[in-house]
């Protein structure tokens, strides 16, 4: 697995930012799993996922708008791959849902475009990070 960092452009960043922001909207689920359901396995999984989300935000910025042209992803490759695989799957589910349930609204079209950018960024980065592709 590569030990160097990955670089992404502004469009890729915007897509990944939207995917992470969407996932962080479920942060209340951690409290529910921990305090209400006593589902410690789910709480642990969510804690690890949110931790990776926060770590990515360190690299791409917390602000919705960031004027940089390029972003260096400094997460360990294995953590980045896990994060990208999760975000890719979440984006795919949202994009498939949007075709049937939300396609007509303009606001959803803008969000879907960001999800598409994030989905594509995940695919590109995962292909770069996949150790099976190293020759």
Residues 6+ apart with CB under 8 A from 34: 40, 43
Q: Is the pLDDT of residue 65 over 70?
A: yes
Element containing residue 51 per DSSP (H, E): helix 40-60
Domain boundaries, the chain: 16-60+72-130
Angle, alpha carbons 76-79-84 (nearest 5°):
120
Q: Is the pLDDT of residue 3 over 60?
A: no
8 beta partners = 71
71 beta partners = 8
The pTM of this model reads 0.77
Q: Give the model confidence (pLDDT) of 93-131 as tens digits.
A: 888 875 555 545 556 777 788 888 888 889 888 888 876
């Amino acid at each position: 697995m590569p030990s160097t960092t990955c670089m992404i452009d502004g469009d890729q960043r915007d897509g990944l930012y939207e995917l992470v922001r969407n996932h962080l909207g479920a942060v209340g689920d951690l409290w529910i799993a921990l305090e209400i359901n006593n589902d410690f396995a789910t709480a642990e999984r969510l804690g690890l996922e949110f931790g990776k989300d926060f770590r990515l935000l360190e690299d791409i910025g917390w602000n919705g708008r960031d004027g940089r042209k390029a972003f260096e992803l400094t997460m360990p490759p294995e953590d980045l791959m896990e994060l990208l695989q999760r975000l890719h799957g979440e984006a795919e589910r949202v994009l498939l849902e949007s075709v049937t349930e939300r396609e007509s609204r303009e606001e959803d079209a803008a969000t879907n475009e960001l999800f598409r950018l994030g989905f594509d960024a995940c695919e590109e980065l995962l292909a770069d990070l996949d150790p099976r592709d190293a020759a």
